[in-house]
């Protein structure tokens, strides 16, 4: 066999081996993408183009994929009611990281809130500061009323704003429940009646303007039953460093907060648009 023929045979063999080592994504519109797949989640397929393996990763909605033929000859056929095809147990952690990276925001409602002032309702917004969601900024706003049995001091409203940081130390756990801990500042305005037994001389008149500032240490239990559903409970304990009635300083006091929350976890419109552009 001549050298020229040998080079031709070797080249054909290399092309054949290269072609057999690639994955093929067959979309529902008939388009075929030659790729190297890195991740299949419940909603997207992440891959690199086979002709540019050193290039960027792309993603396409899983609903656009009819089937995937893998390099080893096996294939997955995707159906509407089988959104977990190709997501092996060993990849569940990667899947959870991918979902956390996309849905970086939580909007929540607290139908039941307890504070040192009384009880009421609240809302909160939470946003991940890093890609996986280990650290978030959390901004609860709560409105409580003092339902004291004394009719002279009851029903005083107090509005709280408590921006803080939440750290999720067990985020990579396979459990759907996640523990959180972190500090929060407290700003409160409303009306109230000062205490008469704290050693401070204050006007004993009921329903005075009340301003308070302080800080809390907050621990929380956070449950994510689905990709978009959030259930949580936060408990905070701290101390006020400013406590005024009608502008007159009163004694500092313990601050307590307990809230039960339900919420929706979502991806911002900007991030969603950027992901769609990348997938094209």
> Domain extents for the chain?
3-87, 103-266
pTM, two decimals, is 0.60
Q: Is the pLDDT of residue 111 over 90?
A: yes
Tokens read off for 169: 């130390």
**Which pLDDT band holds residue 84 (cuts at 50, 70, 90)?**
very low
For the four alpha carbons of 265, 270, 276 and 279, in that order, the dihedral sign comes to negative
- Nearest-5° angle of CA 209, CA 162, CA 251? 45
Query: Contact 204/246 with Cβ under 8 angstroms?
Result: no
Query: Contact 191/207 with Cβ under 8 angstroms?
Result: yes
Q: Going by C-beta distance under 8 Å and a sequence separation of 6 or more, which residues neighbour residue 69?
A: 23, 24, 26, 75
Q: Going by C-beta distance under 8 Å and a sequence separation of 6 or more, which residues neighbour residue 185?
A: 162, 163, 164, 213, 214, 215, 216
Distance, in Å, from the CA atom of 272 to the CA atom of 260, rounded to the nearest integer, reads: 29
Q: How far is CA 106 from CA 91, 160, 181, in A?
A: 25, 19, 17
pLDDT (tens digit per residue) in 30-77: 889 999 888 888 788 899 988 888 888 899 988 888 888 887 777 888
Under DSSP, the state recorded for 71 is T
Tokens read off for 193: 């009646």
Helix (H) or strand (E) segment spanning residue 271: helix 269-279
| 213-218: average pLDDT | 96
The three-class DSSP label of residue 187 is strand
Helix (H) or strand (E) segment spanning residue 9: helix 3-20
> What fold, for 3-87?
SH3 type barrels. (2.30.30)
| More confident call, 249 vs 57 | 57
The three-class DSSP label of residue 15 is helix
Distance, in Å, from the CA atom of 221 to the CA atom of 258, rounded to the nearest integer, reads: 12
Beta-carbon count within 10 A of 274 CB:
11
pLDDT of residue 245: 86
Distance, in Å, from the CA atom of 57 to the CA atom of 208, rounded to the nearest integer, reads: 60
103-266: CATH, from 3.40.50.2300, 3.50.30.60, 2.40.160.20, 3.30.450.90: 2.40.160.20
Distance, in Å, from the CA atom of 114 to the CA atom of 145, rounded to the nearest integer, reads: 10
Q: Is the pLDDT of residue 83 over 60?
A: no
Tokens read off for 280: 């094209």
| 270-275: average pLDDT | 55
Q: Is the pLDDT of residue 134 over 80?
A: yes
């Amino acid at each position: 066999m001549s050298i020229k023929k040998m080079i031709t045979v070797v080249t054909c063999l290399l092309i054949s081996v290269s072609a057999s080592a690639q994955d093929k994504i067959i979309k529902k519109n008939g388009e075929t993408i030659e790729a190297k797949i890195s991740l299949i989640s419940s909603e997207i397929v992440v891959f690199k183009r086979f002709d540019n393996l050193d290039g960027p990763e792309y993603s396409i909605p899983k609903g656009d994929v009819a089937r995937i033929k893998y390099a080893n000859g096996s294939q997955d056929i995707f159906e509407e009611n089988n959104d977990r095809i190709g997501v092996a147990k060993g990849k569940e952690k990667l899947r959870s990281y991918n979902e956390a990276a996309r849905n970086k925001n939580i909007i929540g409602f607290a139908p039941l809130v307890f504070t040192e002032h009384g009880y009421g309702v609240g809302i909160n917004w939470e946003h991940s500061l890093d890609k996986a969601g280990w650290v978030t900024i959390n901004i609860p706003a709560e409105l409580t009323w003092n339902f004291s049995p004394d009719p002279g001091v009851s029903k005083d409203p107090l509005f709280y704003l408590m921006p803080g940081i939440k750290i999720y130390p067990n985020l990579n756990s396979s459990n759907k429940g996640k523990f959180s801990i972190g500090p929060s500042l407290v700003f409160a305005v409303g009306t109230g009646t000062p205490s008469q037994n704290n050693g401070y001389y204050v006007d004993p008149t009921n329903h005075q303007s009340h301003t308070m500032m302080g800080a809390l240490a907050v621990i929380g239990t956070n449950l994510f039953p689905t990709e978009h559903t959030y259930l949580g409970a936060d408990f905070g304990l701290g101390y006020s460093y400013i406590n005024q009635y009608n502008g007159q300083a009163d004694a500092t006091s313990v601050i307590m907060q307990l809230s039960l929350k339900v919420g929706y976890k979502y991806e911002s419109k900007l991030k969603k648009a950027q992901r769609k552009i990348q997938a094209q």
